Amino acid sequence: MAALAPTSLSKDPLSNGALTRIFGSRVKSLEIQHTQLRLWTCFRSNSGVKLKASAEPPALTREPKSDKQESIMEMGNGCDLFNEMKNNFLSFKKHKYMENLELFQALSKGQAPKFMVIACADSRVCPSNILGFKPGEAFMVRNVANMVPTYESGPSETNAALEFAVNSLEVENILIIGHSCCGGIRALMSMQDEVDSSSFIRSWVIVGKNAKLSTKAAASNLSFDQQCTHCEKESINCSLLNLLTYPWIEEKVKKGELSLHGGYYDFVDCTFEKWTLDYKGSVMEGKNRVVVKNQSFWC
């Protein structure tokens, strides 16, 4: 990233000569003054960081930007991003933390969530924001396309989280949440049969291969977009079945100590579908097809 520390400039950290070195010899004096003000504002509010320009000089807008100029602009914009983040944190502290101090003090000593939530890493589908989970209510893991690999697949961050949530926290519910317009599912549906081992994404989403095969068999007459929507839901069900490959999960489900649920958030229409795995029915089906109960649709 291109940035200049204050010690690398002349005695005046914002001298015209220094700015000329940053932006090139064609910058006019008025443009230098304009950029100088923005630089000084960023420097004043972040005295411990390197100098960064927060905007491109007007004279350069018609010319291709160099990598150095792009980097300076991006770093300058970061000042505003983190200022906003800081304000959000201070607002949280004042209006949430301090007003619920007893709750947060209790959480500092331990957690006892009722839910484990497995959701997609997509920035548009934060479970706490959508479903209103409060601190301490849900143990969460998020990955690409909200997938659960089988027990036989070996270690991953997802099954490590499962082990902790089920065996240590003793959650009573596992909820897998899928969503509309999922890029991970689209990547899965676009894949050829051969997995590109050089791609981390492809190597991961192959976990949902059975969902893809089921979709191709049941929805081959639909458009690609419609097939992706079908696979988004089918993948949730395949992951529910994969949960039963973990001996300690199946044991608790069989005893009625743990329930497995699926959820689907359509953020285009803002609707939510929820269902629960019928363990006995799924076992009778040979664990190759999910049988569900307690379906509901929220809109």
Helix H, strand E, coil C: the string for 29-72 is: HHHHHHHHHHHHHHHHHCCCCCECCCCCCHHHCCCCCCHHHHHH
120 annotated as a binding-site residue: yes
213: helix, coil or strand?
A: helix
On whether the CB atoms of residues 39 and 53 are closer than 8 A, the answer is yes
d(CA 185, CA 23) in angstroms, rounded, equals: 43
| 80 carries a ligand binding annotation | no
What amino acid occupies position 254?
A: K
Give the three-state DSSP class for 72: helix
**Per the structure block, which two tokens stand in for 219?**
């929805």
Identify the bridge partners of residue 179 per DSSP, sorted by sequence position.
265
Distance between alpha carbon 264 and the CA centroid of its chain, in Å? 16
Q: Which of 126, 175, 165 has its CA nearest to residue 296?
A: 175
What are the residues whose beta carbons fall under 8 Å from the beta carbon of 157, sequence distance 6 or more? 141, 143
C-beta of residue 162 within 8 angstroms of C-beta of residue 148: yes
Instruction: Domain ranges for the chain, please list them.
Output: 111-298
Residues paired with 77 in a beta bridge: none
Query: What is the model's pTM?
Result: 0.74
- Of 3.40.1050.10, 3.40.50.1170, 3.40.190.10, 3.40.50.2000, the CATH number of 111-298 is 3.40.1050.10
Whole-angstrom distance, CA of residue 91 vs CA of residue 152: 45
Continuous H helices in 62-149: 67-92, 101-107, 127-131
Local structure of residue 66 (DSSP, 8 states):
P
The pLDDT assigned to 36 comes to: 46
Higher-pLDDT residue of 32, 211: 211
pLDDT reported for residue 96: 95
Question: Counting runs of H as helices and runs of E as strands, what totals does the chain give?
Answer: 12, 6
126 known ligand binder: no
What is the number of alpha carbons within 13 Å of residue 3 lying toward its C-beta?
16
pLDDT in tens, 97-156: 999 999 999 999 999 999 999 999 999 999 999 999 999 999 999 999 999 999 999 999
pLDDT tens digits for 73-90?
Answer: 656 666 888 999 999 999
Q: What is the pLDDT of residues 195-246, one digit of tens each?
A: 667 889 999 999 999 999 999 999 999 999 999 999 999 999 999 999 999 9
What is the mean pLDDT of the segment spanning 6-15?
A: 42
Q: Residue 43 in contact with residue 51, Cβ under 8 Å?
A: yes
Residue type, 33: Q
Residue with tokens 């010319």: 63
Q: How is residue 97 written in tokens?
A: 């933390």
